[in-house]
Amino acid sequence: MVRLVLTWTMWCALSAALAGPDDTRGAGQLVALIGERWSDVVDVLESGARPRVFAAEAARASITALEDEVTLVARTAHHALAVEIARDLGTRCAGVLLIGSHDEIVLDAPVVTLANDTPPRIRDALAAHDLDVVTLAHDLDVRPLWRPGPRMWLHRSSVVMNGSPVWGNGALVVGEGGAVLLDTPWTGEQTTLLDAWARHSLGAPIRAAFVSHAHADAAGGTASLTARGIPVHGSADTKRFAAEIDVEVPSHTFAREAVLEVAGLAIDLYAPGDGHAPGNAVAAVRHSDVVFGGCLVKSVRARGMGFVGHADLDSWPRALDAVAARFPAARLLIPGHGSPGEPKALLTHTRTMVTTFREGTRGG
C-alpha cells in the first residue's frame, strides 16, 4: 500500500486528444499514465500517438472499459470521479502517474511523480506532448523547467488585447518552505491563484517577488502581493517609472545590482541599463544556469517589437551586451514572451530586431 499526499503532482489535460474545440482546461483534471516500466510510457509518447490512457500490454485490457470515464474526467474536471478512477487504476496496474489532485489518495500500486531527477528522456517525451503543463485557469498555466539547481517553474499568463490573448512569461523558484516569483502574472487575480497553487501543491508559498519592469505583463500583480505583506523587489529606476505611470511600485529597490536571499535561495538581480522600459532588470538564480530576462529579451521566434512606447532604442543593445557579459555561464534565458532558449541566440536575435527597428524608424 502506498500512501501519497499529492503536494507535487502534475495537473495536465490531454486537451488535443481529449477535448473538443470549445473545451477549456481546468484545475482538478486527472489522467493516468500506466506502465510496467518508464520505457513503456516513453515508447508510446515517442511514437507520436496521443491515446487517452497509456498502458503496458498487461494492463491494457483492464483499462479499456474506463476510457469513456477518463474522457469525462478530462472534459468536466469532476474531481470525485477522478479520484475513484485513480483508485481503481491503482489496484489493477503496475504503476500510476497521477495528474491533478491535491487530496490524499490511497493506492495499491507504485506512484510516480516527476522531479528534477526524472531521466531526461522521460522529461523530453512528456514535454513534447505538453504533458508537463499544469493548467490553473484558461489564462494561467505553469510547467517545470528541468534545470540543475533549485526547482523552477515557468508560469504563463494572458490577457485579451484586440480580441486575442497575449501571453507573458514569469518564473517561480522553489526554495526551503517558500518560493520567489520572477515577474508576476498580468493580473492580481492570476497572481493570487499562482500563489495558492504554489502553497498547496508545492508547499512553497511566495515569500518574495522580483519585477523586471513596470509594465503590467511583469508587475500587474504587485498590488496583490504587497497587500499581503510580500516584498516586491525592482530597480530604483523601475520604481521611479512606476510612480510616473501611476502603477504599484516595488517595495524594495536596488540601484544596479543586488542579491535577493530568501527561502534558502540566492538570486542575483541586475539592472543592465534601459532597453524595453526604464530601469528594466534581469534575475539569475545561483546554483542554476537560468537567467530571467523579462521583456528586455525577445524569443528567437519573435518577429514584432511589441510595445516600444517606453523603450530606449539606443541603450537597448548595450543593455543586452551587459547581460551577456554579466552572466557568461547561463545556458537558458527566459524572455518576457515566447519560448526560453540558448542565451546567445536570444540576445543576438533581440539586438538584430532592435537595430533594424531603430534604423527603420529613423530612415536608416
pLDDT per residue over 287-331, tens digit each?
A: 999 999 999 999 999 999 999 999 999 999 999 999 999 999 999
Q: At residue 360, does pLDDT exceed 80?
A: yes
Q: At residue 13, does pLDDT exceed 60?
A: no
What gap in Å lies between CA 351 and CA 24, rounded to an integer?
37
Average pLDDT, integer, range 141-164: 91
Confidence of residue 220 (pLDDT cuts 50, 70, 90): very high
Any idea what DSSP says for residue 99?
B
Find the range with the poorest average confidence among 136-145, 163-172, 229-238: 136-145
Query: Percent of the chain, pLDDT > 90?
Result: 56
The predicted structure's pLDDT at residue 298: 98
Residue count of the chain, please give it: 364
Strands 32-34 and 232-235, sheet pairing: unpaired
Q: Where are the alpha helices (DSSP H) in 136-177?
A: none
Q: At residue 180, does pLDDT exceed 80?
A: yes
Q: At residue 164, does pLDDT exceed 80?
A: yes
CB atoms under 10 Å from CB of 345, counted, come to: 12
Q: Can you say whether residue 58 is alpha, beta or left, with left for phi > 0 and alpha for psi between -120 and 50 degrees?
A: alpha
Q: Which residue from 17, 21, 73, 23 is spatially nearest to 48, judged by alpha carbons?
A: 17
Question: Residues 108-119: pLDDT tens digits?
Answer: 333 333 444 455
The predicted structure's pLDDT at residue 39: 45
Quote the pTM value. Answer: 0.72
Confidence of residue 26 (pLDDT cuts 50, 70, 90): very low
The predicted structure's pLDDT at residue 237: 97
The predicted structure's pLDDT at residue 329: 96
**Across the chain, how many H-helices and E-strands are there?**
12, 17
Show me where the domains of the chain are located. Answer: 2-126, 139-361
Q: Where are the alpha helices (DSSP H) in the chain?
A: 15-18, 38-46, 57-64, 67-76, 79-92, 120-128, 188-201, 216-219, 222-226, 236-244, 316-326, 343-361
The predicted structure's pLDDT at residue 145: 86
The predicted structure's pLDDT at residue 119: 56
C-alpha cell at position 285: 538564480
In which order are the strands placed within the sheet that holds 232-235?
A: 134-137, 140-145, 151-161, 164-174, 179-182, 206-210, 232-235, 252-254
CB atoms under 10 Å from CB of 92, counted, come to: 16
Confidence of residue 148 (pLDDT cuts 50, 70, 90): confident
The predicted structure's pLDDT at residue 128: 60
Question: Residues 40-87: pLDDT tens digits?
Answer: 444 444 454 333 333 323 233 333 333 333 322 222 233 344 444 445
184-204: buried (b, 16+ CB within 10 Å) or exposed (e) per residue? bbbbbbbbbbbbebbeebbeb
Q: Which helix (H) or strand (E) covers residue 233, if one does?
A: strand 232-235
Query: Percent of the chain, pLDDT > 70?
Result: 63
Find the range with the poorest average confidence among 13-22, 229-238, 246-255, 257-266: 13-22
Which residue's C-alpha cell is 503496475? 94
Q: At residue 224, does pLDDT exceed 90?
A: yes
The predicted structure's pLDDT at residue 118: 54
Find the range with the poorest average confidence among 115-129, 194-208, 221-235: 115-129
Strands 232-235 and 206-210, sheet pairing: parallel
Confidence of residue 212 (pLDDT cuts 50, 70, 90): very high
Confidence of residue 202 (pLDDT cuts 50, 70, 90): confident
Domain 139-361 is of which CATH architecture?
A: 4-Layer Sandwich (3.60)
Residue 57 vs residue 218, higher pLDDT: 218
CB 326 within 8 A of CB 272: yes
CB 31 within 8 A of CB 70: yes
Confidence of residue 137 (pLDDT cuts 50, 70, 90): confident
Q: At residue 230, does pLDDT exceed 50?
A: yes
